[in-house]
Amino acid sequence: MKRIALPLSKAERGALHAGECVLLSGTIYTARDCAHKRIFALLDAKKTTPFPLENAFIYYAGPCPAPAGKASGSCGPTTSARMNSFAPRLLDLGLGGMIGKGEMSAEVVAALKRNGGVYFAAIGGAGALYGNAVKHSECVAFPDLLSEAVYRFEVEDFPLVVAIDAAGNSIYANLPPADPRG
């Protein structure tokens, strides 16, 4: 299995192809629904974001509390589609990409392509495995949001699938379109 380490340069991101299975290590930041809303409010007010967006990777996740002796509790990905409206602006501001689960919108695919970003799919429901792969964790913003706060994670060997690559190829391209009558 291919091992990759963050930070990834634009060229390194460009060498990843949709469908590839990888083990990823390095620094990532958790953020989900509420944290994104707050980050957008900071951006609108021209204030500093909780972490530099340039080349960063956001993990759509909200961990369980860490048991004694562990850096993180159970921490698998949440459904990325809920962040469809947020991802393009962050990618345009330099975000390297995202880690989550499930398909994302055509607008997100276009933003990934435009900026050379990459979207990784983590395996939904594998929370204990991902939680154990977090070696260090620190809350960097919005602690009042509890599990929805922004955490900086140092992770080791996160099993991921390249879901949408920098060329806009998507592993979800063959999902059946829903019947409009349904």
Partner 1 sequence: MRTLNVEQIEDLVYRLARRAGVTIAEDCLSALVRAEREETGAAKFALGTVLQNAEIAQATQMPVCQDTGMTAVFLELGQDVALTGGLLQDAVNAGVRRAYADGNFRKSICDPLTRVNTGDNTPAHLHVEIVAGDGVRVRLLPKGFGSENMSAVCMLTPAEGREGVLRAIVETVKKAGSRPCPPVVVGVGIGGSFDGCTLLAKKALFRDLGSKNPREDVASIEEEALARINALGIGAQGFGGKITALKVLCEVAPTHIAGLPVAVNIQCHCVRHEEGTL
Which residues form the interface with partner 1 (CB under 8 A)? 19, 21, 34, 61-67, 70, 73-76, 78-79, 81, 101-103, 121, 123-129, 131-132, 145-147, 159, 161, 171-172, 174-176, 178-179, 181-182
- 1: CB partners within 8 A, 6+ apart: 21, 22, 23, 159
Asked if 79 and 102 count as a contact pair (C-beta separation under 8 A), the reply is yes
**Closest separation between CB of residue 99 and partner 1, Å?**
13
* H and E: helices and strands count for the chain: 5, 7
Residue 53 or 133 with smaller CB distance to partner 1: 133
- CA–CA gap between residue 122 and residue 133 (Å, rounded): 12
Residue 57 or 158 with smaller CB distance to partner 1: 158
Asked if 149 and 65 count as a contact pair (C-beta separation under 8 A), the reply is no
**Closest separation between CB of residue 84 and partner 1, Å?**
11
**Closest separation between CB of residue 94 and partner 1, Å?**
27
Helix (H, G, I), strand (E, B) or coil at 33: helix
- CA–CA gap between residue 99 and residue 147 (Å, rounded): 17
Residue 63 or 117 with smaller CB distance to partner 1: 63
**Closest separation between CB of residue 123 and partner 1, Å?**
4
| Tokens describing residue 131 | 């939680």
Q: What is the CA radius of gyration of the chain?
A: 16
**Closest separation between CB of residue 46 and partner 1, Å?**
25
Residue 53 or 59 with smaller CB distance to partner 1: 59
Residue 109 or 145 with smaller CB distance to partner 1: 145
